[in-house]
Structure 1
Amino acid sequence: MGRYILRRLLQLIPVFIGTTFIIYSLVWALPGDPFAGKCGSRACPEAYVQMMTEKYNLDEPLPVQYVLYLGQLFQGNFGETFSGLEVSTLIQNAYPVTIKLAAIALVFEAVIGIAAGILTALRGNGFVDNLVLAATLFLIAVPVFVSGFVVQIVFGVQLGWMNPSVSTDPTIGELVVPGLILGSLSMAYIARLTRTAMFENKRADYIRTANAKGLKPRRVVSVHMLRNSLIPVITFIGTDFGALMGGAIVTEGIFNIPGIGNLVFQAIGGQEGTTVTGVVTLLVIVYLLMNLLVDILYAALDPRIRYD
């Protein structure tokens, strides 16, 4: 297992370099003046443009710019915005909120999605199965921003059961409803994925062998069938955590949540390339680490998988 983890860590290095270079190129190699609009309605003075160009190494070739940025990144320096703010400080202020929001969404989608998938798989074709399939299809068909606006207007404005927007320092309780909205789409996919995997494993030889040995149905389901059925679900959940953190722009915008999604949206609108690069680079690291964690969890879920 140790050699496998080391090999996977080494595989992450070229992936990290390749993805971050593509991100850096997409942000800084696009045509146009990166300092347009930074001095109001008038053009920026030539001295200001030259100073900022040297500060952000924009006078160097793109590969050299990337290497210099990577050197700063390895020192924990995500750069500065054009207004002089540390990007690491902006991330430090916004990231805890997004982590809490993504964690709440992940709990909802994992618990409810897996439970619904197991229930429908064990009950077979019937009322509960059809109800869950119809509900998940509805969640997949309705965009997140539509369900978010409906919940905000109905339960926040008309009924007054919740605040339409969260505070500047939101608590876990304030993020429960936005987290449920954020995780609703993935919840539907997990329910369907669990249901399909359970149906496939019900007909497997090792399940028939376990039943023939006289094991209790609860043990057959929990120890044998569920562990192997959760492998594709764990893969989905692991990769979805990074997607939830980076894809919460709409949900954070609806409920006015000061998180990473809101930070990226403001950075794109203000043409703050350093902020966009830093945040997306951090999301790449989260994706890679979550994929590594998922690969390690495979051995615990399925003893048939051997890494040596």
Structure 2
Amino acid sequence: MGRYVLRRLLQLIPVFVGTTFLIYVMVWAVPGDPFAGMCGERPCNPAFVAMMTDKYNMDETVFVQYFLYLGNLLQGDFGETFSGLAVGDLIALRYPVSIQLAVIAVAIEAVIGIAAGILTGLRGRGFVDNLVLVSTLFLISIPTFVTGFLLQIVFGLELGWFPATVSSEATWGELIMPGFVLGSLSMAYVSRLTRTSIAENRRADFMRTALAKGQPKRRIVGVHLLRNSAIPVLTFLGTDLGNLMGGAIVTEGIFGIPGIGGLIYDSILNKEGVTVTGVVVLLVIVFLLVNLIIDLLYAVLDPRIRYD
């Protein structure tokens, strides 16, 4: 196991360098003057433009710019915005809220989605199965912003069960409804994926062997069926956690959440390439680490998997 983890960590290095380089090139290749609007309606003074160009190494080639940025990144420096704010401080201010929101969304989609998938997968076709299939199809068909506005109006404004908007403190209770909105689409996919995986594994050879040995039904279902069926679901949930951390722009906008999605959106509008690069690089690190953890959990769920 230790050798496998070390090998995977070494494999993450070229992946990290390659993805961050592509991100850096794509962000800074966006056409337009990055200093436009910094001097009001008047064009910026050439001396100011020259100073900013030298400060952010924009007179160098993209390869030199990237390796200078990578060197600072390895020291924990995510760069500085054109207005002089540290990108690391902006991320530290916004990222915890996005983590809270993503954790709530993944928890909701995991609990409800897996429970619905297990229920329909074990019972087979019937009223409950049709109800879950129709409900998940309904969630998949509706855009996230529509779901967000409906829940905000019904449960936030009409019934008053949850806050219609999120305060600057962004408590866990305030993030429950936005978390449900954010995870609703994935919840439908998790339910269908769990149902399909259970239905497929019910006909597997190891299930027939367990039945032939006369093992209790609870052990057959809990140990053999559910653990083997959980592997594709775990993969989906792990990758979805990274997606939700950076893809919550619409949900954060509806509920006024001061998260990382709004920071990315504002940075794109203001052409703050340093901020966009820093946030996306952090998301890449999260993706790589989450995928490593998921790979290690495979051996826990399936004893046949060994990392030698």
Q: What is the aligned partner in structure 2 of residue 263 from structure 1?
A: 263
Task: Summarize the alignment of residues 168-179 of structure 1 with structure 2, pairs less than 5 Å apart.
Answer: 168-179=168-179
Q: What is the aligned partner in structure 1 of residue 47 from structure 2?
A: 47
Task: Summarize the alignment of residues 1-308 of structure 1 with structure 2, pairs less than 5 Å apart.
Answer: 1-308=1-308
- The one-letter code sitting in structure 2 at the alignment partner of 1:17 is V
- RMSD of equivalent CA atoms: 0.8
Deviation at residue 159 of structure 1 after TM alignment: 2.8
Deviation at residue 243 of structure 1 after TM alignment: 0.1
Deviation at residue 43 of structure 1 after TM alignment: 0.6
Deviation at residue 307 of structure 1 after TM alignment: 2.0
Deviates more, 1:279-288 or 1:28-37: 28-37
C-alpha distance in structure 1 between counterparts of 2:211 and 2:259, whole Å: 50
- CA displacement 1:276-308 (0-9 Å, x = unmatched): 000000000000000001111011111111222
Deviation at residue 61 of structure 1 after TM alignment: 0.4
Q: Percent identity among equivalent residues?
A: 69
C-alpha distance in structure 2 between counterparts of 1:213 and 1:48, whole Å: 80
C-alpha distance in structure 2 between counterparts of 1:178 and 1:35, whole Å: 35
Secondary structure of the 1:83 match is coil
Deviates more, 1:96-105 or 1:148-157: 148-157
Runs of 4 or more, structure 1, over 3 Å off, are none
C-alpha distance in structure 1 between counterparts of 2:64 and 2:306, whole Å: 42
C-alpha distance in structure 2 between counterparts of 1:173 and 1:31, whole Å: 42
C-alpha distance in structure 2 between counterparts of 1:30 and 1:116, whole Å: 44
C-alpha distance in structure 2 between counterparts of 1:33 and 1:66, whole Å: 19
C-alpha distance in structure 2 between counterparts of 1:305 and 1:125, whole Å: 32
Aligned length: 308
Deviation at residue 157 of structure 1 after TM alignment: 2.2
C-alpha distance in structure 2 between counterparts of 1:169 and 1:272, whole Å: 26
C-alpha distance in structure 1 between counterparts of 2:197 and 2:29, whole Å: 44
Deviates more, 1:101-110 or 1:26-35: 26-35
Deviation at residue 215 of structure 1 after TM alignment: 1.2
- The one-letter code sitting in structure 1 at the alignment partner of 2:208 is R
Deviation at residue 257 of structure 1 after TM alignment: 0.2
Matched-pair contact (CA < 8 Å) for 1:29–1:62: no
For structure 2, list consecutive stretches of 5 or more residues without a partner in the other structure.
none
Deviation at residue 33 of structure 1 after TM alignment: 1.3
C-alpha distance in structure 1 between counterparts of 2:290 and 2:67, whole Å: 25
What is the TM-score normalised by the length of structure 2?
A: 0.98
C-alpha distance in structure 2 between counterparts of 1:294 and 1:203, whole Å: 26
What is the TM-score normalised by the length of structure 1?
A: 0.98
Secondary structure of the 1:113 match is helix
C-alpha distance in structure 2 between counterparts of 1:226 and 1:154, whole Å: 36
Deviation at residue 36 of structure 1 after TM alignment: 1.1
Matched-pair contact (CA < 8 Å) for 1:136–1:191: yes
- CA displacement 1:252-290 (0-9 Å, x = unmatched): 010000010011111111111111000000000000000
- The one-letter code sitting in structure 1 at the alignment partner of 2:258 is P
C-alpha distance in structure 2 between counterparts of 1:29 and 1:147, whole Å: 35
For structure 1, list consecutive stretches of 5 or more residues without a partner in the other structure.
none
